[in-house]
Structure 1
């Protein structure tokens, strides 16, 4: 029996078939990947240099792409900075919620809340957000966007930590207050670094706060602690 030539599988056809198994990214996926690449580069530069020395002209080189590609997605400095902070704050929110779900004892949780808050509020990106909001030269619309981004990112974090404390046996009303006070304390200390940065003193203050919360929780009636 003679095999027909058109039934033979050539190496070229086999190669095409193997390549065909890899799904090509859609235009939307490619666009999102490019935007993320730019935002990561911008976030890295802001972290290393601060807002005052941040130059959008350097972002394209950091991202490994053309200046034109960057300007296509973010034509102005304001649009790039706002998008970068939104991206960074969203990533921080994801990490915070994961941390909240990973611990379950009240003492561990208080320490975890503090450490998580310190990572966010003591970050260069949060300081950039504060710089923009307080800057008299910044457009009012940009300031409002930054404030809304911060609120949108932090509210789910507060909820996650409150729920974690509640799940560990702390009454919901107390849990919400403890989280709010803890975050306010950390945020205040972060702002203090603008004129007085003393990490060792901050560690001592946070340690005192943890002990105060422990004593406070232990002083609550057993019924209140377990409900």
Structure 2
């Protein structure tokens, strides 16, 4: 019997739902138990599918982790844009430490951080995740340059300063939970960026990058 377009769409929807369930299950498991404490059986059980079904959709755990990185990034970028449109937060460069802080410390952001850290001792994981992370950074870099100018080297430096400062503070928030101090550090980073780039773009930072130490 021929498969109708409607049936094909239904199968595609089921596939997408299963993949999303596995990604979300991986995020929750890694956040609760850490990357090393999370295995494929646990992820499959949380997603409500068999381990074989999980491997059918992603092939390997490393491939699933790469998709977690991509999925989280796309969700974060969509949320940043929604916040910017709704509140205006994000129109200036010095808005971004606060904006990043509101998102990167969530379970999804912390799960990605654990995955990235695990690539150091897992060659298979690194082979799947590192190229995905590099692609994510390139996409973010294009957005950053489009919004605030700067050449690629400068934009990448500023982006990494902000993102990894916030990621580091998100680790501190988890293991040294002094919320007021961590939020004060975020506010300080924003103020430093505002002083260095008072017009809210990267243009003034280009001159700083040319100064000799």
Instruction: Place the TM-score, normalised by the shorter chain, in its bin.
Output: 0.5 to 0.7
What is the aligned partner in structure 2 of residue 209 from structure 1? 189
Tell me the distance in 2 between the aligned counterparts of 1:184 and 1:217. 14
Tell whether 2:61 aligns with 1:77: yes
What is the aligned partner in structure 1 of residue 161 from structure 2? 184
What is the aligned partner in structure 1 of residue 15 from structure 2? 31
Equivalenced residue count is 190
Q: How far off its partner does 1:40 sit?
A: 1.8
What is the aligned partner in structure 1 of residue 118 from structure 2? 132
CA contact (8 A) 1:189 1:202 kept: no
Tell me the distance in 1 between the aligned counterparts of 2:27 and 2:115. 12
CA change 1:200–1:182 in 2 (3 A) is farther
CA contact (8 A) 1:100 1:164 kept: no
CA contact (8 A) 1:46 1:125 kept: yes
What is the aligned partner in structure 2 of residue 18 from structure 1? none
CA change 1:201–1:186 in 2 (3 A) is farther
Tell whether 2:143 aligns with 1:160: yes
Tell me the distance in 2 between the aligned counterparts of 1:116 and 1:191. 15
* Higher relative contact order, chain-length normalized (CA < 8 Å, sep 6+): 2
Give the gaps of 5 or more residues in structure 1.
1-22, 166-171
**1:37-56 to 2 correspondence within 5 Å?**
37-56=21-40
Highest CA radius of gyration, 1 or 2?
1
Per mean C-alpha deviation after superposition, the further-off stretch among 178-187 and 57-66 is: 178-187
CA change 1:36–1:105 in 2 (3 A) is closer
CA contact (8 A) 2:144 2:155 kept: no
CA contact (8 A) 2:89 2:99 kept: no
Any idea what the Cα deviations from partners look like across 1:128-180, whole Å, max 9, x if unmatched?
23322222xx12x5313312212222333343344344xxxxxx339x94784
The CA RMSD measured in Å over matched residues stands at 3.7
Q: How far off its partner does 1:117 sit?
A: 2.6
What secondary structure sits across from 1:173 in the alignment? Answer: coil
Tell me the distance in 2 between the aligned counterparts of 1:218 and 1:33. 45
Any idea what the Cα deviations from partners look like across 1:42-99, whole Å, max 9, x if unmatched?
2221222221211211222211223332232234332332333332233223323444
